[in-house]
Copies of this chain bind each other. A is one copy, B any other.
Amino acid sequence: MLIEIDFRDKRPLYEQISGKLEELILCGVIGADEALPSVRSLAMDLSINPNTIQKAYDALEQKGFCYSVAGRGRFAAAADEVLPARKQEILDELGKVVDKAIKVGITEKDIGKYVHEKYQ
């Protein structure tokens, strides 16, 4: 699988996992209506308690990144459906960071330069 866990990461495991899956869905690595690995198989794969995977999937579904069909499994939502919300989420985050930057006297130009480098 494409998911790797970083045990040093301070975020809870389930959040790491759901985060990774969000990415995979958004980037199209997991296509629309494609089946996600079952709770048990993914748990085996990552050597992690199934409860934790369950929690990750619950969070994912709650955010609209996948849907479950009773008795059949879980399937990815279409990237287009969740992308706009996700974009807004990121922009909000960006807003907070910029606020902090302004407070300590980082100029708009500094940020522009820094961002530009990232896009190279």
**Residues on A facing B (Cβ under 8 Å):** 7-8, 12-13, 23, 26-27, 62, 67, 69-72, 75, 83, 86-87, 90-91, 93-95, 97-106, 108, 111-112, 114-116, 118-119
7 contacts between A and B (CB under 8 A): A12-B70, A87-B105, A90-B101, A90-B106, A102-B118, A111-B115, A112-B112
- A interface SS class: helix
Min CB–CB distance A11 → chain B (angstroms): 9
- Flag if B119 contacts A94 (CB, 8 Å): no
Q: Are B106 and A91 in contact (CB under 8 A)?
A: yes
Cβ-defined contact, A97 with B104, below 8 A: no
Contact in complex: A23, B103 (CB < 8 Å): yes
